[in-house]
Protein backbone atom coordinates (compact mmCIF):
# COMPACT_ATOMS: atom_id res chain seq x y z
CA UNK A 1 0.00 0.00 0.00
CA UNK A 2 1.11 3.56 -0.76
CA UNK A 3 0.31 6.77 1.13
CA UNK A 4 0.85 10.15 -0.54
CA UNK A 5 0.96 13.16 1.79
CA UNK A 6 4.04 15.32 2.12
CA UNK A 7 6.01 12.26 1.04
CA UNK A 8 5.44 8.73 -0.19
CA UNK A 9 5.13 5.95 2.39
CA UNK A 10 5.17 2.37 1.17
CA UNK A 11 4.30 -0.56 3.42
CA UNK A 12 5.02 -4.05 2.07
CA UNK A 13 3.81 -7.30 3.63
CA UNK A 14 5.60 -10.46 2.53
CA UNK A 15 5.12 -14.06 3.58
CA UNK A 16 7.36 -17.07 3.02
CA UNK A 17 4.93 -19.83 3.93
CA UNK A 18 2.26 -21.76 2.04
CA UNK A 19 0.01 -22.23 5.10
CA UNK A 20 -2.34 -19.57 3.71
CA UNK A 21 -3.07 -21.63 0.58
CA UNK A 22 -5.62 -24.38 -0.06
CA UNK A 23 -2.80 -26.42 -1.58
CA UNK A 24 0.83 -26.56 -0.53
CA UNK A 25 3.57 -25.78 -3.01
CA UNK A 26 3.82 -29.46 -3.86
CA UNK A 27 0.21 -29.31 -5.08
CA UNK A 28 -1.41 -31.26 -2.25
CA UNK A 29 -4.66 -30.09 -0.70
CA UNK A 30 -4.36 -28.74 2.84
CA UNK A 31 -7.85 -27.49 3.57
CA UNK A 32 -7.57 -27.83 7.33
CA UNK A 33 -4.32 -25.87 7.38
CA UNK A 34 -5.90 -23.21 5.18
CA UNK A 35 -9.02 -23.00 7.34
CA UNK A 36 -6.92 -22.24 10.43
CA UNK A 37 -4.49 -19.77 8.88
CA UNK A 38 -6.31 -17.92 6.08
CA UNK A 39 -8.54 -15.95 8.50
CA UNK A 40 -5.43 -14.81 10.37
CA UNK A 41 -3.91 -13.39 7.20
CA UNK A 42 -7.18 -11.74 6.18
CA UNK A 43 -7.52 -10.15 9.63
CA UNK A 44 -3.92 -8.89 9.48
CA UNK A 45 -4.54 -7.29 6.08
CA UNK A 46 -7.75 -5.66 7.36
CA UNK A 47 -5.91 -4.30 10.40
CA UNK A 48 -3.12 -2.87 8.27
CA UNK A 49 -5.65 -1.27 5.91
CA UNK A 50 -7.48 0.27 8.87
CA UNK A 51 -4.24 1.53 10.40
CA UNK A 52 -2.85 3.05 7.21
CA UNK A 53 -6.17 4.37 5.92
CA UNK A 54 -5.76 3.05 2.38
CA UNK A 55 -6.60 -0.31 0.77
CA UNK A 56 -3.85 -2.78 0.04
CA UNK A 57 -2.72 -3.48 -3.51
CA UNK A 58 -1.97 -7.16 -4.26
CA UNK A 59 1.47 -7.90 -5.62
CA UNK A 60 2.07 -9.62 -8.92
CA UNK A 61 1.47 -13.36 -9.24
CA UNK A 62 4.61 -15.45 -8.87
CA UNK A 63 5.57 -19.08 -9.23
CA UNK A 64 4.13 -19.91 -5.79
CA UNK A 65 0.81 -18.05 -5.56
CA UNK A 66 -1.42 -15.20 -6.76
CA UNK A 67 -1.95 -12.45 -4.14
CA UNK A 68 -5.37 -10.84 -3.67
CA UNK A 69 -6.61 -8.00 -1.47
CA UNK A 70 -7.77 -10.59 1.09
CA UNK A 71 -4.93 -13.09 0.88
CA UNK A 72 -4.25 -15.46 -2.00
CA UNK A 73 -6.26 -16.92 -4.86
CA UNK A 74 -7.31 -20.55 -4.61
CA UNK A 75 -4.72 -22.57 -6.60
CA UNK A 76 -7.28 -25.35 -7.03
CA UNK A 77 -9.07 -23.08 -9.49
CA UNK A 78 -6.26 -21.50 -11.49
CA UNK A 79 -3.46 -23.90 -10.67
CA UNK A 80 0.16 -23.00 -9.90
CA UNK A 81 2.28 -21.15 -12.41
CA UNK A 82 5.01 -23.78 -11.91
CA UNK A 83 4.45 -27.45 -11.10
CA UNK A 84 6.01 -28.49 -7.77
CA UNK A 85 7.46 -25.04 -7.14
CA UNK A 86 8.89 -26.20 -3.81
CA UNK A 87 10.87 -29.01 -5.37
CA UNK A 88 11.87 -26.90 -8.36
CA UNK A 89 13.07 -23.82 -6.50
CA UNK A 90 13.11 -24.23 -2.72
CA UNK A 91 15.13 -27.44 -2.59
CA UNK A 92 18.00 -26.11 -4.73
CA UNK A 93 17.90 -22.76 -2.91
CA UNK A 94 18.28 -24.50 0.46
CA UNK A 95 21.19 -26.54 -0.87
CA UNK A 96 22.93 -23.38 -2.10
CA UNK A 97 22.42 -21.67 1.25
CA UNK A 98 23.93 -24.60 3.10
CA UNK A 99 26.87 -24.79 0.68
CA UNK A 100 27.66 -21.12 1.23
CA UNK A 101 28.53 -21.98 4.84
CA UNK A 102 31.03 -24.67 3.82
CA UNK A 103 34.54 -24.56 2.39
CA UNK A 104 34.86 -26.04 -1.10
CA UNK A 105 36.06 -29.62 -1.37
CA UNK A 106 36.34 -32.48 -3.83
CA UNK A 107 36.21 -35.08 -1.09
CA UNK A 108 32.67 -35.80 0.05
CA UNK A 109 29.67 -38.03 -0.51
CA UNK A 110 27.20 -37.45 -3.32
CA UNK A 111 24.50 -34.88 -2.50
CA UNK A 112 21.56 -36.59 -4.19
CA UNK A 113 20.28 -40.12 -4.57
CA UNK A 114 17.38 -42.02 -6.09
CA UNK A 115 17.69 -44.69 -3.40
CA UNK A 116 15.90 -44.95 -0.03
CA UNK A 117 17.67 -43.17 2.80
CA UNK A 118 18.34 -43.75 6.47
CA UNK A 119 18.42 -40.73 8.74
CA UNK A 120 18.72 -39.38 12.24
CA UNK A 121 16.69 -36.47 13.59
CA UNK A 122 18.87 -33.68 14.99
CA UNK A 123 17.45 -31.70 17.89
CA UNK A 124 18.80 -28.92 20.09
CA UNK A 125 16.71 -28.33 23.19
CA UNK A 126 13.07 -28.45 22.11
CA UNK A 127 13.80 -27.54 18.48
CA UNK A 128 14.31 -30.01 15.64
CA UNK A 129 17.06 -28.60 13.42
CA UNK A 130 16.98 -31.13 10.61
CA UNK A 131 17.97 -34.60 9.50
CA UNK A 132 21.37 -36.12 8.76
CA UNK A 133 21.00 -38.90 6.21
CA UNK A 134 22.76 -41.56 4.15
CA UNK A 135 21.51 -43.46 1.13
CA UNK A 136 20.86 -47.18 1.26
CA UNK A 137 21.85 -48.24 -2.25
CA UNK A 138 24.72 -45.91 -3.16
CA UNK A 139 27.24 -43.58 -1.53
CA UNK A 140 25.29 -40.38 -0.90
CA UNK A 141 24.87 -38.51 2.38
CA UNK A 142 23.99 -35.06 3.63
CA UNK A 143 21.89 -32.90 5.91
CA UNK A 144 18.35 -31.65 5.35
CA UNK A 145 17.75 -28.44 7.36
CA UNK A 146 14.27 -28.05 8.81
CA UNK A 147 12.56 -24.98 7.38
CA UNK A 148 10.85 -24.02 10.62
CA UNK A 149 14.20 -23.84 12.45
CA UNK A 150 15.42 -21.01 10.25
CA UNK A 151 19.10 -20.05 10.18
CA UNK A 152 19.93 -22.26 13.14
CA UNK A 153 19.18 -25.30 10.99
CA UNK A 154 21.68 -24.24 8.33
CA UNK A 155 24.38 -23.35 10.86
CA UNK A 156 24.06 -26.74 12.52
CA UNK A 157 23.70 -28.48 9.17
CA UNK A 158 27.03 -27.11 7.98
CA UNK A 159 28.72 -28.66 11.02
CA UNK A 160 27.10 -32.04 10.40
CA UNK A 161 28.21 -31.94 6.76
CA UNK A 162 31.77 -31.22 7.92
CA UNK A 163 31.58 -34.33 10.11
CA UNK A 164 30.37 -36.31 7.11
CA UNK A 165 33.41 -35.07 5.22
CA UNK A 166 35.59 -36.39 8.03
CA UNK A 167 33.93 -39.79 7.65
CA UNK A 168 34.50 -39.68 3.90
CA UNK A 169 38.20 -38.99 4.44
CA UNK A 170 38.32 -42.02 6.76
CA UNK A 171 37.09 -44.14 3.85
CA UNK A 172 33.72 -44.96 5.42
CA UNK A 173 30.72 -45.71 3.26
CA UNK A 174 27.77 -43.36 3.62
CA UNK A 175 25.83 -45.87 5.75
CA UNK A 176 28.85 -46.47 7.98
CA UNK A 177 29.33 -42.73 8.27
CA UNK A 178 25.83 -42.35 9.65
CA UNK A 179 26.51 -44.97 12.32
CA UNK A 180 29.87 -43.32 13.09
CA UNK A 181 28.13 -40.00 13.70
CA UNK A 182 25.90 -41.65 16.27
CA UNK A 183 28.95 -42.75 18.27
CA UNK A 184 31.04 -39.57 18.09
CA UNK A 185 30.45 -36.83 20.71
CA UNK A 186 29.30 -33.59 19.12
CA UNK A 187 29.40 -29.99 20.40
CA UNK A 188 26.13 -28.86 21.97
CA UNK A 189 25.51 -26.17 19.32
CA UNK A 190 25.29 -28.87 16.64
CA UNK A 191 22.34 -30.49 18.36
CA UNK A 192 22.11 -34.18 19.17
CA UNK A 193 20.74 -37.30 17.55
CA UNK A 194 17.26 -38.14 18.80
CA UNK A 195 16.83 -41.80 17.86
CA UNK A 196 18.71 -44.85 19.08
CA UNK A 197 18.72 -46.32 15.58
CA UNK A 198 18.48 -44.77 12.09
CA UNK A 199 15.01 -44.18 10.68
CA UNK A 200 14.18 -44.98 7.07
CA UNK A 201 12.52 -42.93 4.35
CA UNK A 202 11.44 -44.28 0.99
CA UNK A 203 13.41 -41.57 -0.80
CA UNK A 204 15.36 -38.38 -0.27
CA UNK A 205 12.33 -36.56 -1.64
CA UNK A 206 10.25 -37.88 1.26
CA UNK A 207 12.84 -36.61 3.74
CA UNK A 208 13.00 -33.23 2.00
CA UNK A 209 9.24 -33.04 2.31
CA UNK A 210 9.47 -33.78 6.03
CA UNK A 211 12.11 -31.10 6.52
CA UNK A 212 10.01 -28.52 4.70
CA UNK A 213 6.97 -28.90 6.94
CA UNK A 214 6.18 -26.50 9.74
Confidence grade of residue 1 (pLDDT, cut at 50, 70, 90)? low
CA nearest neighbour of 204 among 118, 130, 126:
118
Question: To the nearest whole percent, how much of the chain has pLDDT over 70?
Answer: 94
CA angle centred on 25, ends 130 and 66, rounded to 5°? 135
Give mean pLDDT, residues 119-142: 95
Contacts of 80 (CB under 8 A, 6+ apart): 23, 25, 27, 63, 64, 65
How many CA within 13 A on the CB side of residue 164?
27
SS3 content of the chain, % helix, strand, coil (to 5): 40, 20, 40
pLDDT of residue 191: 95
- Element (H or E) spanning 8, and its range? strand 8-10
**Dihedral pair phi/psi, residue 70, rounded to 5°:** -115, 5
Confidence of residue 114 (pLDDT cuts 50, 70, 90): very high
**What confidence tens digit (pLDDT) does each residue in 64-100 have?**
889 998 899 998 887 887 777 777 777 788 889 999 9
As a whole number, the mean pLDDT across the chain is 89
Q: Does the pTM exceed 0.75?
A: no
Amino acid sequence: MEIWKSSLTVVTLETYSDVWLTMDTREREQLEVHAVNEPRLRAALDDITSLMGVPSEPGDPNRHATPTSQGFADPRVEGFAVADSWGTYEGPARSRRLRQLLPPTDGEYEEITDQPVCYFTIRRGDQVLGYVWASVGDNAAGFEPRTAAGGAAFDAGAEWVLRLREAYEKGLTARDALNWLARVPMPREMGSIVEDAPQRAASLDVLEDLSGRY
